[in-house]
Amino acid sequence: MAKMKAAMAAVLVMEKEGVSQAFGVPAAAINPLYSALRERQSIAHILARHVEAASHMAEGYTRARAGNIGVCIGTSGPAGTDMITGLYSASADSIPILCITGQAPRARLYKEDFQAVDIESISKPVTKWSVTVREPAQVPRAFQQAFHLMRSGRPGPVLIDLRFDVQMAEIEFDIETYEPLPVYKPAATRKQVEKALDMLAAASKPLIVAGGGIVNADASDLLVEFAELTGVPVIPTLMGWGTIPDDHPLMAGMCGLQTSHRYGNATMLASDFVLGIGNRWANRHTGSPEVYCKGRSFVHVDIEPTQIGRVFSPDFGIVSDAKAALQLLNEVARERKAAGRLKDYGVWAARCAERKKLMHRKSHYTEAPIKPMRVYEEMNKVFPRDTVYVTTIGLSQIAGAQFLNVYGPRQWINCGQAGPLGWTIPAALGVVAADPTRTVVGLSGDYDFQFLIEELAVGAQFRLPYVQVLVNNSYHGLIRQSQRGFEMDFCVQLAFDNQNIPESEGDLRSYGVDHQAVVQGLGCKSLRVTDPEKIESALREAQAMARKYSVPVVVEVILEKVTNVAMGTEIDNINEFEDIDCRHPEGRKGLELAGLLE
């Protein structure tokens, strides 16, 4: 046993649990922990400009690589409340991050101490566990329990609140004998898998819906193996995008009200059986259950028992980690294939592939101001196959999901359910911190970009290079589009006459914020594009600049101010708004006659 401050014990436990990177903002109530971090020099630290941003950095860091757990640190009071949005985001998308806050000394409890707040109670609804440690000897075990809970069952975030005097107190602790607790993950049984495959065999037009749980379980290769063994096409959810490469013959497109492909929705509507693995049946994927479920039966596999039946009642539910379920599904499917007991779905898969070939949205627009669809077309041309895209919410993200290509897991890092504006920049910085060798591309509209724009200075200070694509229409665009239903365009305009932009710049002056000046003032590099034919060269130049200067490089593309992006109220009722790139020689009528719009 060794005598040490409780704060030091916390750092030693984090080391044993595999933590090598933290994000945060030091201040008085958490300084004892920072003192231990400084003494050990084993956990790198990136100084955020805002504590909410630190929590988003931690989430990006976790999501970048299997096994990572991002850590964010802040002082008492507002640091903890600033983290709530990050905790909500991580909790909603099943992402483990550890938030550590300082707190007033025990003697000052309920005595109006500066920046003292009951962060344990505030954060409980958006964490797997939230605890204020009141006894110094409990510190190492609180951290041990935190890592155990974050990794067990459905992953998620934890908050540990450390009182100042608890951090400073000396305790007896033997780190040499410390071991992480075994992780609990439920697993499907042979009987359950047999029944699921029997139900699959009874279908004629089956689909696999692949959710983010497959990414979390690091089981994408197993998913592709299962799809190839059975010949069943795959529809990834937005959080599961990349579990099967976009150009794989059995990748059938995404389904949903917004972030969907025309062929994905058409294929879902034509199906008669769905095996969902690691997905939540979130409403932007399903629309109403009445439309989504009509005419098809469902098997749902999820690690969280209370998720089964939450949105609608499946015909059969299996509580299991995605990797464990897929391992057994593959084992049984191989046995059935060897015995000649697997059904041939070749005709159905070919129909799905035909939709994928023919049912597209137009992206090649040549006019200026630039239409957003053209931006994603050029991004697909320029960025390499293993590019990691990071984005949060808005028309930029929705159009990105409709037009970009993703070829592997953890290459589409999207804040799914919470969708906080400002998430993209800090999350991208967290991704780069996890693996500086990857090509990382952030995607933001101008409002998302402005929310936490100051974090670009973090990228400059800590040499975190990536390309940030900024599509600027000077609008809070998704809300402007949704206001169509109220016949208004109210308080969503970001444009104003910026008197600091010369009149010679013409229309740019009317777009408001001079992002180029701000980006450069924060120590980063920037480019601006107004001609669609110059997008490609600007993106290539940005990549070269990021490598040369090792800082974020922002490519601002000036868009037309109003573009409605395809979306609707149901998966069978999508308003396309823009032109359809129908590749059937007889147009839409040909698709109907071919039965591709079932």
247-286 pLDDT, tens digit each: 999 999 999 998 899 999 999 999 999 999 999 999 889 9
pLDDT at residue 320, as a whole number: 97
The whole-chain average pLDDT of the chain stands at: 91
Residue 43 CA: distances (Å) to CA of 157, 170, 448: 19, 22, 30
State residue 419's pLDDT score. Answer: 76
- Give me the mean pLDDT over the 560-584 stretch: 79
Contact 169, 134 (CB under 8 A): no
Residue identified by tokens 């990857």 is 438
Instruction: Give the mean model confidence (pLDDT) for residues 342-350.
Output: 94
Cβ atoms within 10 Å of 408's Cβ, excluding its own: 18
Please determine, for residue 397, whether its predicted confidence score (pLDDT) is greater than 60. yes
In this prediction, residue 583 carries a pLDDT of 66
Taking 80 as the threshold, does the pLDDT of residue 505 lie above it?
A: no
What's the pLDDT score for residue 595?
Answer: 66
pLDDT in tens, 22-73: 999 999 899 999 999 999 999 999 999 999 999 999 999 999 998 999 999 9
DSSP structure string for 237-278: -STTTTSS-TTSTTB----SSSS--HHHHHHHHH-SEEEEES
Q: Let me know: does 583 contact 358? Beta carbons within 8 Å.
A: yes
Residue 480's pLDDT band (cuts 50, 70, 90): confident
pLDDT at 482 exceeding the cut of 80: no
Residue whose pair of structure tokens reads 């790139």 in the numeric block: 581
d(CA 18, CA 39): 18
Angle at the Cα of 487 (from 486 to 489), degrees rounded to 5? 100
- The phi, psi pair for 5, rounded to 5°, reads -70, 150
What angle is formed at CA 468 by the lines to CA 466 and CA 469, rounded to 5 degrees?
Answer: 140
Secondary structure (3-state) at 72: strand
Return the closest-CA partner of residue 556 out of 453, 460, 444.
444
Q: Grade residue 474 by pLDDT with cuts at 50, 70 and 90.
A: confident
In total, the chain counts a number of residues equal to: 598
Residue 60 near residue 413 (C-beta atoms within 8 A): yes
Q: How many Cα atoms within 13 Å fall on the side-chain side of residue 42? A: 14
Residue 202 CB: number of other CB atoms within 10 A?
A: 12
pLDDT classification of 481: cutoffs 50, 70, 90: confident
| pLDDT (0 to 100) of residue 564 | 80
Give the Å distances, CA to CA, from 583 to 250, 378, 587: 20, 20, 7
pLDDT at position 503: 73
pLDDT above 90 (res 417): no
Residue 233, pLDDT score:
98
- How far is 73 from 346, CA to CA, in rounded Å? 53
Query: In this structure, how many other beta carbons lie within 10 angstroms of the beta carbon of residue 382?
Result: 19
Percent over 70 (pLDDT), the chain = 94
Asked whether residue 394 carries a pLDDT value surpassing 90, the answer given is no
pLDDT at 584: 63
pLDDT at 217: 96
pLDDT at 158: 98
Single-letter residue type at 129:
W
The reported pLDDT for the residue numbered 589 is 60
- Region 529-544: mean pLDDT is 96
Give the percent of the chain with pLDDT over 90: 75
Q: How far is CA 236 from the centre of its chain?
A: 14
Q: Is the pLDDT of residue 592 over 80?
A: no
- What confidence score (pLDDT) does residue 586 get? 58
What confidence category does residue 84 fall into, taking pLDDT thresholds of 50, 70 and 90? Answer: very high
Q: Please tell me the least confidently modeled range out of 143-147, 474-478, 574-578.
A: 474-478
Tens-digit pLDDT profile for residues 422-473: 999 999 999 999 999 999 999 999 989 999 999 999 999 999 999 999 998 8
The pLDDT assigned to 548 comes to 95
Domains in the chain, CATH or no CATH each: 2-177 (3.40.50.970), 190-359 (3.40.50.1220), 363-558 (3.40.50.970)
pLDDT band at 406 (very low <50, low <70, confident <90, very high): very high
The strand ranges marked E within 355-401 are 359-361, 388-391
Per DSSP, 475 falls in state: B
Higher pLDDT, 110 or 331: 331
